Amino acid sequence: MSTTVSAPAPGSKDDGSTTMSKAPDQPMVEASVASEDEDRLPTFREIVDLIIHPVVLRSFAIVLVATVILVGLRVLTWNEIADGARSRYVKTAIFGGASAMMVWFLVLLQVGAQKRWPVYCAVAVMLAGDAVHYVRLANPIVRGGPVVAFNATFASAIPLDGQWEVETANGGTAKVDGSTAVLTAGPSGSSYILARLPKEPDVRESWWLPLGLATLEREETLSWRAQIDRTGGYFVVTEIKQLLIQAVPYGMHITYPDEMKQAKGYEIQTQVTLDGKMHDWEIIRNPREIRLRVDGNEVWKSRSQGPLGQLKVGESKRDAAHGGTIKVERASYRTVLMREGAV
């Protein structure tokens, strides 16, 4: 580009201005120096100068202290049920702190050191991770609350099939008498109730649930208060998967797999199935063992052969040698998470 200064025309006033002209064969440059500076990336030297600026160092110190405190608190409040495996959780917390520092630096390059946005954005990244952790930590399941809970009582005004699946066959009956469910089955008949258990919460569907739901074992507790009147040679108290408990003339007969996965019978001398009185039954199963308690006394235990996942009471065998009545006042089912050290 060439520049020429033209003289003022005769009779005109010379105000000191100059007239710019360009050579015919060169294009006019329209972009200004300011716009070029806005579009270009900062040089390495400019970045270094920015980093060592006192204002930047002060901002960095604030973010560093906040990150150390928040990450430290998150690690100190780790909970196996809420957060899962410790090593993986600690790595995730440290990664969150590093991500916050990176966000601070990137925002700093965009808006400069005089504004507080880099600090705000970095702290926001940290608080987002903290929110997830503390919401999980506050869940009742972490403090021993049930993963699944079912509690049932009976009343004449409440249909039996509201909380239960009712199964009767070959003359068997199921009804509510006052505050008691009465299940009666004659020879070759059946009459039992199966609880409609709530769906177990899934952490894959709800991110705010404790991570232990996906990794930890459960302990199940099934309980009911009932009276048994056996009229046949056998009467089923409960049959759940591989577990079968029957009332027999000498007391109780339990069938459950042994260590070789073969069905094994256990004969138990007891009066609880013979005296016609109400008794409290409780089955507790965890990954190690399964136990049966009646009125608080342990009457049988064995190595666990898998979850039960059901609550069923009453005669389920359609056999000519079976018959009787079970009266149930209440029943419940619950599962809780077990820490790895307790399994």
pLDDT in tens, 271-313: 999 999 999 999 999 999 999 999 999 999 999 999 999 999 9
Percent above pLDDT 70 for the chain:
84
Residue that wins the pLDDT comparison between 7 and 75: 75
Q: How close are the terminal C-alpha atoms of the chain, in Å?
A: 85
Q: Per-residue pLDDT for 335 more than 60?
A: yes
CA distance 3 to 18: 10
DSSP 169-204: ETT-EEEEETTEEEEEE-TT-EEEEEE-PPPPP-TT
Determine the topology of domain 145-342 in CATH: Jelly Rolls (2.60.120)
CA distance 309 to 99: 42
| Long-range residue pairs from 244-253, CB within 8 A, at least 24 positions apart, any chain | 245/292, 247/273, 247/274, 247/324, 248/273, 252/299, 252/300
> Residue 78: what pLDDT?
95
What's the distance, CA 42 to chain centroid? 46
Residue that wins the pLDDT comparison between 297 and 115: 297
pLDDT in tens, 7-61: 444 444 444 444 444 444 444 444 444 445 555 666 766 666 666 677 878 888 9
Q: Per-residue pLDDT for 331 more than 70?
A: yes
Q: Per-residue pLDDT for 4 more than 80?
A: no
Domain ranges of the chain: 41-138, 145-342
pTM of the model: 0.76
Lowest-confidence region among 23-32, 112-121, 302-311, 325-334: 23-32
pLDDT in tens, 127-146: 998 999 999 999 999 999 99
Which run of H or of E encompasses 76?
helix 54-76
